[in-house]
């Protein structure tokens, strides 16, 4: 990427506005009406989740959504987080900005993925921002910034193409430098990992370190004749990834090629939206087949409700198409300079370390004892501990610059 292509981080000062979630009563009434009038499809008895979202479970979930779920209580909990918006490249971006409590908080931007919204970080934010209140060293405190990706949750839906991981990485530099951070760390999973990989690749002078609990599926190192041949572990991973994608990747193919088509149905039907999202929350988590072992119904429905009230399922799915148009592929000899730490959760598909080291400067690799794709929601304490330990030696380096 040439210097003249880089997003200009020296624009006019960042204009930050406080933000409060305020869903209208009319939206709650509309949701209730739609749930009461759901048209249910047939399902073959005994199939369970093999054909997709289990019908008895979805009836259970949507009944709870209509009769027991308290959006106003969840809204109040979410509004306890310090929230703001700022315009970046013509799109109003929502973000949480929690200042750290400690002697020298370290700036950290955490980027969520799909089907998250940024609020999936609500339990890990206090562990990172105020470690002293959670049995850890206050010297490990972070200033935590959690932006919502464009077209996700309370970030504005883009009205033009181009807002994929590559461009969002540039927006995040504008956000972080506009907030006064000359250098910062990055942490992410899922699409956030793709954004953060671009961030570390394009702006190594700004990113002190990168921590991931997922390696993006679009990540591809060069495998040319001048590169080491695939190891047995690397080939086994590529075979496993291909098998997974063949069995589970239908959603990905659809969202990466024709996201507008499912957007009509999922934007109009709350039951359909719930089915689309909860199937992934079950399938990608360390839940042993029972999604309620990993998440409460309130947690599941808070996430789904944000998508419903903001109408962002269509714009969130478009992120897959944008990435398809500009994936994370690397040329021979191309390296990402900032140090990388990886937390590999057992129920996630993580490549072997040698595969990642073909491009990244891996300085820490931890096999986590439990957890899946939603590490910040499933095991926030374990992930927070890993993040603290990875960035601890980098703090001294950043202070010495």
Burial of 74 from C-beta contacts in 10 A (0-12 / 13-18 / 19+) = buried
Residues 6+ apart with CB under 8 A from 366: 341, 342, 343, 344, 386
Which contacts (CB < 8 Å, 24+ apart) does range 19-24 have? 19/83, 19/84, 19/85, 19/94, 19/154, 20/79, 20/83, 21/75, 21/78, 21/79, 21/83, 21/154, 22/75, 23/71, 23/75, 23/309
Residue length, the chain? 401
Annotated catalytic residue, options 167, 251, 320, 348: 320
Cα–Cα distance measured from residue 306 to residue 53, given in angstroms and rounded to the nearest whole number: 20
Q: How many CA atoms are closer than 13 Å to the CA of 155, on its beta-carbon side? A: 31
Q: Does residue 246 carry a catalytic annotation?
A: no
Q: Does residue 190 carry a catalytic annotation?
A: yes
Which contacts (CB < 8 Å, 24+ apart) does range 293-300 have? 294/372, 294/374, 294/377, 294/378, 295/374, 295/377, 295/378, 297/61, 297/64, 297/68, 297/69, 298/69, 298/70, 298/74, 299/377, 300/61
Cβ atoms within 10 A of the Cβ of 36, count?
Answer: 9
First to last CA, the chain: 26
CA dihedral 140, 141, 143, 144 (to 10 degrees): 90
Cβ atoms within 10 A of the Cβ of 225, count?
Answer: 7
Cα–Cα distance measured from residue 98 to residue 164, given in angstroms and rounded to the nearest whole number: 26
Cα–Cα distance measured from residue 251 to residue 110, given in angstroms and rounded to the nearest whole number: 25
Rounded to the nearest angstrom, the gap between the alpha carbon of residue 191 and the centroid of all alpha carbons in its chain is 5
Of 235, 300, 332, the C-alpha closest to 62 is: 300
Annotated catalytic residue, options 143, 190, 286, 348: 190
Cα–Cα distance measured from residue 83 to residue 95, given in angstroms and rounded to the nearest whole number: 6
User: What amino acid positions are annotated as catalytic residues?
Assistant: 190, 320, 373
């Amino acid at each position: 990427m040439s210097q003249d292509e880089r997003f200009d981080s020296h624009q006019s000062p960042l204009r930050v506005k406080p933000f409060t979630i305020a869903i209208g009563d009319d939206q709650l009434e509309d949701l209730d009406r739609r749930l009461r009038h759901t048209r249910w499809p047939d399902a073959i008895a005994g199939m369970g989740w093999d054909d997709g979202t289990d019908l008895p479970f979805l009836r259970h979930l949507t009944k709870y959504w209509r009769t027991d779920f308290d959006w106003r209580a969840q809204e109040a909990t979410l509004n306890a987080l310090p929230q703001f918006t700022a315009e970046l490249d013509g799109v109003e971006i929502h973000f949480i900005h929690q200042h750290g409590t400690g002697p020298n908080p370290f700036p950290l931007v955490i980027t969520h993925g799909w089907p998250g919204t940024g609020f999936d970080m609500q339990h890990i934010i206090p562990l990172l921002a105020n470690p002293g209140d959670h049995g850890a060293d206050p010297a490990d405190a972070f200033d935590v910034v959690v932006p919502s990706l464009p077209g996700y949750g309370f970030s504005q839906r883009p009205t033009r193409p181009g807002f994929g991981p590559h461009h969002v990485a540039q927006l995040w530099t504008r956000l972080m430098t506009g907030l006064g951070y000359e250098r910062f760390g990055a942490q992410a999973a899922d699409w956030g990992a793709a954004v953060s990989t671009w961030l570390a690749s394009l702006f190594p002078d700004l990113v002190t370190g990168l921590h991931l609990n997922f390696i993006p599926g679009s990540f591809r190192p060069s495998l040319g004749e001048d590169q080491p041949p695939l190891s047995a572990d690397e080939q086994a991973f590529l075979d496993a990834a291909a098998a997974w994608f063949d069995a589970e990747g239908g959603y990905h193919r659809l969202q990466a090629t024709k996201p507008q088509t499912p957007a009509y149905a999922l934007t109009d039907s709350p039951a359909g939206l719930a089915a689309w999202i909860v199937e992934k929350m079950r399938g990608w988590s360390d839940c042993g087949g029972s999604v309620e072992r990993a998440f409460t119904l309130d947690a599941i429905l808070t996430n789904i409700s944000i998508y419903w009230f903001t109408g962002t399922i269509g714009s969130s799915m478009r992120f897959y198409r944008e990435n398809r148009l500009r994936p994370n592929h690397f040329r021979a000899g191309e390296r990402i300079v900032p140090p990388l730490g990886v937390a590999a959760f057992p129920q996630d598909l993580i490549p072997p370390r040698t595969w990642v080291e073909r491009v990244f400067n891996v300085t820490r690799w931890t096999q986590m004892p439990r957890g899946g794709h939603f590490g910040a929601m499933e095991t926030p304490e374990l992930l927070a501990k890993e993040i603290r330990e990875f960035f601890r030696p980098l703090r001294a380096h950043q202070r010495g610059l």
